[in-house]
Amino acid sequence: MSEYISIADFAERAGVSKQAVYKRVEKDLNQYFKLLDGKKFLHTNALTLFNSNDSTEAVEQPESSDLKDDMIQQLKLENERLNNQNSQSNDLIKKLQEENSKLTNQLITLSNDFSELAKQSHFLTSQAQSLQGHIQQQTLGKANEELASTGETRVDSVDQQVRKDDKPVEPIRRRGFFARLFG
């Protein structure tokens, strides 16, 4: 086993990439190739054949540490950019939540104000109806007193008049402003 080395070790000793070694295994290094326990190995004698044959050019590999450093730097920059975006998104979400809270509070306040105004409107409407009823009763009372002194006609309600002989008279029609003005 000491005469066989892995493909990676072979590529390193030959000064070429692993891809170049695999291409040569398919062409002319197949006789030096061995598969043991699922791993690929080449005999060290293939190094001489590999170096003497000028048909394969050595592929210059970038140093893996430089590549790793570049990738790490790019990942750090991308991570920083994403963190920045995340922070901006979180700030925007907080502002929108605060605005939503303010608008909800304003809506609740307006709803309460509307309910209070509706209650006041109902109260004032009932008061107006009550006052209108009292005014009608007072008007009828005064009209009946005046008519009783003359003895002609008695008014029982605003809409109806009754004569002394109890024959009903045509009810008084209420007419609108324009009917009274033009009619």
- Give residue-wise pLDDT tens across range 100-127: 999 999 999 998 998 899 999 889 998 9
pLDDT at res. 157: 55
Tokens of 167: 């024959």
Kindly state whether residue 168 falls inside one of the protein's structural domains: no
pLDDT at res. 108: 93
Q: How confident is the model at residue 170 (pLDDT cuts 50, 70, 90)?
A: low
Name the domain count of the chain. 1
The stretch 7-26 carries a mean pLDDT of: 89
Kindly state whether residue 77 falls inside one of the protein's structural domains: no
11: containing domain: 4-61
Kindly state whether residue 31 falls inside one of the protein's structural domains: yes
The stretch 125-152 carries a mean pLDDT of: 83
Q: How far apart are CA 52 and CA 4, in angstroms?
A: 19
Kindly state whether residue 81 falls inside one of the protein's structural domains: no
Kindly state whether residue 156 falls inside one of the protein's structural domains: no
In this predicted model, what pLDDT tens digit does every residue of 33-47 receive, in sequence order?
888 888 989 888 888
Residue 44 CB partners (closer than 8 Å, separation 6+): 3, 4, 5
Tokens of 46: 């293939």
Kindly state whether residue 52 falls inside one of the protein's structural domains: yes
pLDDT at res. 48: 82
The stretch 25-30 carries a mean pLDDT of: 84
